[in-house]
């Protein structure tokens, strides 16, 4: 019998604000951070990892929340937990006292996500598979059983979700073979941070083309005249055939968003991301209708599957950008992938930050193999910094994510990272 013996949480912070990498209209000076959980077990070779990504101040609050949830697993039998992870997910998300701090949103919900992702990391490591493969090898009924349907079944009947998975089943092996051979398209945000000057923007756009990316994303939303100028620079640099997306990081109100998108649409936008407040579902629907056919994308701040359901029901987004650490982990993410498939929306995950690429790629590959109607429409965000801090850094070559091959959920940090970047005791923060 293997049991969970300890839950250790580390406040990791990286000083990204010094280079303005990661800067956008809402977040001008992020220090990319992670509240990082390691679940030790009675098997010395088996540790499960999960984390919540934050951007600096408050990471200590997030770490305390992860501790509050993870401590409940200490002393418990791992086999029992892995036998029915949905029961654990339900236990943690429906805890009546902690639920008061949400429900299903914010610091506590993300803390549950770190814990559930660590539990699935343990499951995949024990199976000797990467997480995407663990999910792909579940039967359709088992996938459906991962989801808490309480607030979702009015839009997507679980029986219909199972049918959908069964319809894709015959293509699964050929899709996996193709994904092993070709990977999954990456798009890059690296040229487009708002803090970069025009020359750097131009240079990095050209470099992204040379690196094989077929979609580039620019941050917008601080000043419309600047946005027009920067989009002009980017479009000239990449030519007409490379897709160009923009991300306003919630800066606009609804009428402002409509006005700005109407003015920027001539740059041929693949999508407009987070045009307004992420909770304003009706606002997203109003914007999407007004600027049709420009696609609207959102999701990195979408608190839970219930919000995703409403967004998709009202056609407020044509692209759902799931994030590996915004929601309560594997079970919520599988729910959102199924909801998107039912609604005919593309899942193009949010990544970047620190560790987000490594974690969310598993859900992108699962979606491409087992759920999505047309995997060729899918891509996944890629930002090139901080991968050296992960134990299993992503492999992106010729503009494509290569399928992960190592066991686990991709959520482990490099063993020496905490020595330098634990806050405030790490060597870096002591200088």
Written as six digits, the tokens of 39 are 């679940």
Q: Of 85, 98, 67, whose CA–CA distance to 142 is shortest?
A: 85
Binding region for Mg ion (CB under 5 A) out of 28-36, 40-48, 103-111, 244-252: 244-252
Q: How many residues bind Mg ion (CB under 5 A)?
A: 2
Nearer to Mg ion, 227 or 273 (CB): 273
| Strand (E) or helix (H) holding 256 | helix 254-264
Q: CB 377 → Mg ion: shortest distance, Å?
A: 19
Nearer to Mg ion, 217 or 389 (CB): 217
Nearer to Mg ion, 247 or 358 (CB): 247
Written as six digits, the tokens of 349 are 């995950």
Nearer to Mg ion, 247 or 332 (CB): 247
Q: CB 307 → Mg ion: shortest distance, Å?
A: 16
Long-range contacts of 332-337, Cβ-Cβ distance < 8 Å, separation of 24 or more? 332/113, 332/304, 332/305, 333/363, 334/135, 334/143, 334/146, 334/147, 334/363, 334/366, 335/146, 335/147, 335/148, 335/152, 335/305, 335/308, 336/299, 336/302, 336/305, 336/308, 337/363, 337/366, 337/367, 337/371
Q: Is 153 helix (H, G, I), strand (E, B) or coil?
A: coil
Nearer to Mg ion, 121 or 247 (CB): 247
Written as six digits, the tokens of 44 are 């010395």
CA distances in angstroms from 104 to 80, 89, 94, 100, listed in the order given: 25, 12, 9, 9
- The footprint of Mg ion on residues 7-26 (CB under 5 A) is none
Q: How far apart are CA 428 and CA 6, in angstroms?
A: 27
Q: How far apart are CA 320 and CA 337, in angstroms?
A: 8
Q: Of 148, 247, 280, 332, which lies in the binding site for Mg ion, with binding defined by CB under 5 A? A: 247
Nearer to Mg ion, 164 or 216 (CB): 216
User: Dihedral of the CA atoms 78, 82, 83, 89 (nearest 10)?
Assistant: 120
Binding region for Mg ion (CB under 5 A) out of 8-16, 87-95, 122-130, 268-276: 268-276
Q: CB 189 → Mg ion: shortest distance, Å?
A: 8
Q: CB 128 → Mg ion: shortest distance, Å?
A: 34
Q: What is the CA radius of gyration of the chain?
A: 21
Is residue 373 within 8 Å of 340, Cβ to Cβ? no
Task: Mark residues 272-311: x for contact with Mg ion by CB under 5 A, - for none.
Answer: -x--------------------------------------
Q: Of 218, 253, 221, 224, whose CA–CA distance to 236 is shortest?
A: 218
Measure the N-to-C terminal CA separation of the chain; round to a whole number of Å: 45
Nearer to Mg ion, 48 or 316 (CB): 316
Q: CB 310 → Mg ion: shortest distance, Å?
A: 20
* Active site amino acids: 219, 350
Give me the helices (H) in 56-157, please: 59-70, 78-83, 85-93, 96-99, 106-127, 131-136, 140-146
Q: How far apart are CA 413 and CA 426, in angstroms?
A: 15
Q: Give CA angle at 111 (27, 67), nearest 5°.
A: 115
Give the neighbor-by-neighbor strand order of the sheet with 4-13: 4-13, 33-41, 47-54
Nearer to Mg ion, 273 or 358 (CB): 273
Q: CB 249 → Mg ion: shortest distance, Å?
A: 6
Binding region for Mg ion (CB under 5 A) out of 169-177, 260-268, 269-277, 338-346: 269-277
Q: How far apart are CA 106 and CA 127, in angstroms?
A: 31
Binding region for Mg ion (CB under 5 A) out of 242-250, 258-266, 284-292, 357-365: 242-250
Q: CB 273 → Mg ion: shortest distance, Å?
A: 5
Q: CB 194 → Mg ion: shortest distance, Å?
A: 12
Interface positions with Mg ion (CB under 5 A): 247, 273
């Amino acid at each position: 019998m293997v049991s969970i013996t300890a839950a250790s949480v580390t406040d990791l912070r990286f000083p990204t604000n010094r280079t303005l990498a990661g800067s956008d209209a809402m977040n001008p000076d992020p220090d990319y951070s992670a509240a990082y959980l390691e679940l030790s077990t009675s098997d010395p070779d088996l540790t499960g990892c999960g984390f919540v990504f934050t951007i600096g101040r408050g990471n200590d609050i997030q770490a305390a929340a992860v501790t509050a949830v993870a401590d409940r697993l200490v002393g418990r039998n791992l086999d029992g937990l892995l036998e029915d992870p949905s029961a654990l997910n339900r236990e943690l998300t429906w805890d009546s006292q902690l639920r008061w701090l949400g429900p299903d949103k914010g610091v506590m919900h993300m803390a549950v996500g770190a814990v559930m992702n660590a539990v699935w990391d343990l499951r995949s490591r024990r199976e000797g598979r990467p997480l995407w493969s663990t999910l792909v090898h579940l039967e359709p009924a088992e996938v459906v059983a991962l989801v808490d349907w309480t607030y979702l079944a009015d839009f997507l009947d679980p029986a219909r979700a199972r049918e959908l998975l069964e319809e894709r089943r015959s293509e699964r092996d050929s899709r996996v073979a193709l994904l092993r051979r070709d990977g999954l398209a990456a798009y890059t945000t690296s040229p487009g941070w708002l803090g970069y000057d025009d020359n750097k923007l131009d240079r990095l756009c050209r470099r992204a083309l040379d690196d094989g990316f077929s979609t580039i994303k620019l941050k917008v939303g601080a000043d419309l005249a600047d946005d027009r100028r920067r989009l002009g620079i980017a479009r000239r640099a990449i030519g007409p055939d490379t897709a160009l997306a923009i991300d306003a990081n919630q800066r606009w109100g609804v009428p402002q968003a409509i006005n700005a998108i109407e003015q920027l649409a001539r740059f041929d936008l693949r999508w407009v991301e987070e045009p307004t407040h992420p909770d304003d579902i009706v606002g997203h629907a109003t914007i999407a209708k007004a600027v049709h056919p420009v696609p609207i994308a959102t999701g990195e701040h979408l608190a839970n599957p219930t919000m995703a359901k409403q967004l998709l029901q009202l056609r407020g987004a044509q692209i759902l950008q799931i994030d590996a650490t915004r929601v309560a982990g594997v079970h919520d993410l599988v729910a959102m992938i199924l909801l998107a498939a039912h609604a005919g929306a593309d899942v193009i995950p949010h990544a970047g930050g620190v560790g987000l690429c490594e974690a969310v790629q598993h859900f992108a590959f699962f979606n491409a193999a087992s759920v999505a109607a047309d995997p060729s429409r899918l891509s996944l965000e890629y930002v090139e910094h901080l991968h050296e801090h992960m134990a299993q850094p992503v492999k992106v070559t010729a503009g494509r994510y290569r399928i992960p091959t190592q066991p686990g959920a991709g959520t482990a940090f490099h063993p020496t990272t905490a020595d330098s970047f634990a806050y405030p005791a790490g060597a870096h923060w002591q200088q």
